[in-house]
Structure 1
Amino acid sequence: MQTTDRNQIGSDDYSFHQLQQNSSAADPSLLAWEITDANDKPYGTGKTSVATGGITVGLDSGAFNELNVDMALYLAYLPHYRQKSVRSGRYNTTYRLAAHYEFDSTNHFCDNPSTTIGKVKPVVSKFTLTADVLKGCQLENTDVLLDFGKVGAVSATRGARANANIDVRCTYETDYQLTLDNGRNFKDGFRRMKSGKNFIPYQLYSGSGTSVPWTKVSGKGAPVNSFNSHPIEGKLAPATVAPATGIYNDTVIMTLTF
């Protein structure tokens, strides 16, 4: 088994990698798949393996004029944890499947398969494998918690901080944007946490220890088995009056577009 243009780059001798059309040779985009028989026996690329699978049939000489053998093969794309750099787009590859035949003219085939002496030119067929990988993104942590903890009146007026991460997984090199709304109690340029009729204003920043307000963060999808982590920091706005005691909270909606 091999591609007609020899562009499979399997990580082992039993996986195939389709090269995306117009993919860069320096940074190829590859979609991995495998082929097995009914017993889950893998078939190799033929790069280093000699026998990539097959069946042995033993018959008495003169018992047949014609031999028909059916063998089912199953193709499947590998799960994401066995993929690597898969960009969105079309993957289309033509493969050569070669069937090799060998005949034993002795009566001891089952006892001594090494006595095979007759070889027939292989029968070669072709098939084309096509897949369309779509762009996709998801939030790995949909419930991000910024917890300021127990804050005293003095800390509240000095601007306590809380940190967290927003993790994004996308199809490799897919462009995306991550935005946050103003929460439920926005007023006078500040998001506000609420407890009863009382409020504590705060700001959200892109990154830890920065002064860059979170407006819109952009990124590109990481390789298949990883994601991008975007740090977010919340800071209480300095207050001229100590807030009333209570449990304060707010809900901010994250929106991921791609």
Structure 2
Amino acid sequence: MSMIKRLCCFAIPACAAITAIPAQACTVGATTTNLGSRSSYTIAASSLTGSGAAGLSCDVVLAALTTHYVGLNITASSFQLTGPGNSSISFSVSSTSGGVALGVGTFYNLSSLSLVSLFSGVNSSIPLYFRTTPTAGLRAGLYKGSLNLRWYYSVCSLGVALCLDYSNSPGFIRPGPFASLNWGSGTAVTVNIELTVENDCIINAPSVDFGSAPIVSAFNPVTRTIQIRCSAGSAYSVGLNNGGNPDNGVRRMKSGNNFLRYEIYKSASSADRWGDQGSARRSSSQADANAGTYDSLTSQSFTYRAEIETSQTAVPVGTYEDTITIDVAF
């Protein structure tokens, strides 16, 4: 008896569905805008401008037939940068360069702006633009301020012509046949702003002119006063270098290949040489006028005496010149 074996084959269907997973197009996070470092006198004389990320970045899809929504509310800010000694600098912030200043508690609907221009900051972020108010009498140091913001948004995260999915802030409801636009509760974020104020000084140093004389011994000493004012709260010292033609630490004026020796002393009558090292420097606390006054507005006066060494040998006729560099150290 023969056996007939039947081989049975079963087809096992295999299915795989590849679905598009929408990306979360928007992220919200704290940011810091550094407005850089500027002289205290630069900040006193003019406004400083800068820009930085506003805490909302969106990798948006520009679906042609989609409406995007973006809204902003500044919930709290003093609009002040505060630094050493509770000194402060007022600032304003706007959503566009040179635009109208934003205020606390007002809802700003930015949806009318094109997404390309709206998310024009670094890494597709929305930028904010800052402007300081000219402020005098500032101490040097780091100044800080902040903005507390709340962002509301609904932007396309998947689609080409039509949007298939959206990135929304909490509670946002898009308008439709059965729903009205609801901006929801939004997402809170803090934007920090920093600015470094640098020490600086304004120096008024008149030239020294010994006049003319037929022989070296006929030159008279000349007395002059240097006026210096520096950033608020900053004591300092003042040094004078040895000029462009020193010889073993002695200052010299030059005419062609000839030299005329001279010196500068710390007061109208002192025998102490004014130099740029150690005790040869002059302290602002011992200025001849307004010593110890550091309000950035009041100048300290430093009187000195310049003398040509009358004992040196005769020098050829000519016009002798030199340049002294004044340095201020804090």
Question: TM-score range, shorter-chain basis?
Answer: 0.5 to 0.7
Which residue is 1:13 aligned to?
Answer: none
After superposition, the Cα gap between the structure-2 partners of 1:210 and 1:78, relative to the gap in structure 1 and judged at 3 Å, is farther
Deviation of the 1:204 alpha carbon: 1.7
- Matched residues in 2 for 1:89 and 1:231: separation? 27
Q: Is the 8 A contact 2:149 2:189 kept in 1?
A: yes
- Matched residues in 2 for 1:164 and 1:147: separation? 10
The partner residue of 2:319 within 241, 247, 250 is 247
Which residue is 1:12 aligned to?
Answer: none
Deviation of the 1:148 alpha carbon: 1.2
The partner residue of 1:236 within 284, 287, 307 is 307
TM-score by length of 2: 0.44
1:40 corresponds to which letter in structure 2?
G
Which residue is 2:101 aligned to?
Answer: 42
The partner residue of 2:80 within 14, 17, 25 is 17
- Matched residues in 2 for 1:164 and 1:235: separation? 11
Q: Is the 8 A contact 1:198 1:244 kept in 2?
A: yes
Q: Give the secondary structure class of the aligned counterpart of 1:248.
A: coil
TM-score by length of 1: 0.53
Higher gyration radius (CA): 2
- Matched residues in 1 for 2:264 and 2:142: separation? 40
2:100 corresponds to which letter in structure 1?
K
Q: Is the 8 A contact 2:80 2:90 kept in 1?
A: yes
The partner residue of 2:218 within 134, 138, 157 is 157
After superposition, the Cα gap between the structure-2 partners of 1:232 and 1:124, relative to the gap in structure 1 and judged at 3 Å, is farther
Q: Is the 8 A contact 1:198 1:243 kept in 2?
A: yes
Q: Please show how residues 169-188 of structure 1 align to structure 2 within 5 Å.
A: 169=230, 172-183=232-243, 184-186=245-247
Q: Is the 8 A contact 2:147 2:191 kept in 1?
A: yes
Deviation of the 1:161 alpha carbon: 0.9
Kindly indicate whether residue 190 of structure 2 is the aligned counterpart of residue 127 of structure 1. yes
Q: Is the 8 A contact 1:97 1:125 kept in 2?
A: yes
Which residue is 2:282 aligned to?
Answer: 217
Deviation of the 1:153 alpha carbon: 4.0
Deviations 1:118-167 (A, max 9, x none): xx9997844241425164446767xx663315322489535231536365
Deviations 1:27-86 (A, max 9, x none): x22133211232611134x6xxxx8685699xxxxxxxxxxxx8967232426xx02344
Q: Is the 8 A contact 2:238 2:329 kept in 1?
A: yes
The partner residue of 1:30 within 75, 83, 88 is 88
Q: Is the 8 A contact 1:19 1:91 kept in 2?
A: yes
Which residue is 1:103 aligned to?
Answer: none
